[in-house]
């Protein structure tokens, strides 16, 4: 089974420029997540999609960040304009939503991430 | 407000010994806990999980213990192997319909010495 794919793997831009990241989740996974991981910290959820609808975007800086999920499959995350503090690894994850036994949850599978450096 | 905390940034253990990684949480609504392992330049990989209805879950060399009254969980790796050297993240989630929002700790870098 192919894993979560992300591109590009690395990106260097200057502040105030725009950048976009792409994610292709595991086939059949209805839920897609974007996380931001700043150096020395754990991943922080930015936005969560179920199919092509947004479930949670409470931690997305909407003045500069936007995300969409095309036809409920691939997703793009955009930053416009970028700031120095946006330097981080952007992780995409997906999970299969299904009925589970009490106390169980779906596992989130992560892609390799895109390392963004803003100069 | 750090709801999930891993207070040890790093841990060094000799090969063959037990590795114990700790995690504390503050949100009493968390009812599902996970450990992820991360190698450099890779995404986190799911390792083991535990529901709040249990106090222990075991999978091979990995065991997770949950102490709800103390809001504390730990991951035990026995015996530790060189390939276990990685960053380990503790994560927690609240009850949700199907999908879940994970809150991660800062991570602990585990180094297994030969």
Structural domain including A23 reads 5-98
* Rounded (5°) CA angle B70-B73-B77: 145
At B49-100, the pLDDT tens digits run: 999 999 999 999 999 999 999 999 999 999 999 999 999 999 998 866 555 7
User: What does the pLDDT average to over A53-66?
Assistant: 93
**CATH code assigned at A47:** 2.60.40.10
- Specify whether the CB–CB gap between B4 and B92 falls below 8 A: yes
Structural domains in chain B, sorted by start: 4-113 (2.60.40.10)
At B87-98, the pLDDT tens digits run: 999 999 886 655
Domain presence at residue A76: yes
Cβ distance of A55 and B107 shorter than 8 Å: no
At B7-44, the pLDDT tens digits run: 999 999 999 999 999 999 999 989 899 999 999 989 99
Q: Which residues of chain B does A42 touch, with a Cβ-Cβ cutoff of 8 Å? A: 4, 6, 89, 91, 104-107
The pLDDT assigned to B94 comes to 81
User: What does the pLDDT average to over A39-44?
Assistant: 93
Cβ distance of B49 and A4 shorter than 8 Å: no
Q: How far is A96 from chain B (nearest CA, A)?
A: 8
The pLDDT assigned to A2 comes to 80
At A96-108, the pLDDT tens digits run: 865 555 556 778 9
Q: How far is A59 from chain B (nearest CA, A)?
A: 11
Give me the DSSP letters along B38-56: E-TTS--EEEEEEETT-SE
Please tell me the total count of domains within chain A. 1
* Res A17 pLDDT > 80: yes
Reported as type and span, the H/E element at residue B72 is: strand B72-77
Domain presence at residue A93: yes
The pLDDT assigned to A80 comes to 97
The pLDDT mean for chain A works out to 91
3-state secondary structure chain A: CCCCEEECCEEEECCCCCEEEEEECCCCCCEEEEEEECCCCCCEEEEEEECCEEEECCCCCCCCEEEEEHHHCCEEEEECCCCHHHCEEEEEEEECCCCCCCCCCCCCEECCCEEEEEC
């Amino acid at each position: 089974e192919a894993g979560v794919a992300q591109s590009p793997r690395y990106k260097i831009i200057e502040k105030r420029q725009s950048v976009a990241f792409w994610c292709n989740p595991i086939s059949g996974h209805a839920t897609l997540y974007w996380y931001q991981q700043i150096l020395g910290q754990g991943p922080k959820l930015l936005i969560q999609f179920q199919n092509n609808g947004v479930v949670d975007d409470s931690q997305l800086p909407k003045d500069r960040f936007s995300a969409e999920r095309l036809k409920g499959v691939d997703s793009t995350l955009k930053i416009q304009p970028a700031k120095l503090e946006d330097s981080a690894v952007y992780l995409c994850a997906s999970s299969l939503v299904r009925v589970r036994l009490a106390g169980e949850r779906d596992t989130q599978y992560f892609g390799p991430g895109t390392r963004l450096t803003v100069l | 407000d750090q709801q999930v905390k891993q207070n040890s940034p790093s841990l060094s253990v000799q090969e063959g010994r037990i590795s114990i990684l700790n995690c504390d949480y503050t949100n009493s609504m968390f009812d599902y806990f996970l450990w992820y392992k991360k190698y450099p330049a890779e995404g986190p990989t799911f390792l083991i999980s535990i529901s709040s209805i249990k106090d222990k879950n075991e999978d091979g060399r990995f065991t997770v213990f949950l102490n709800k009254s103390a809001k504390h969980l730990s991951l035990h790796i026995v015996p530790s192997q060189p390939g276990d050297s990685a960053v380990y993240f503790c994560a927690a989630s609240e009850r949700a319909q199907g999908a879940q929002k994970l809150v991660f700790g800062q991570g602990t870098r585990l180094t297994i010495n030969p």
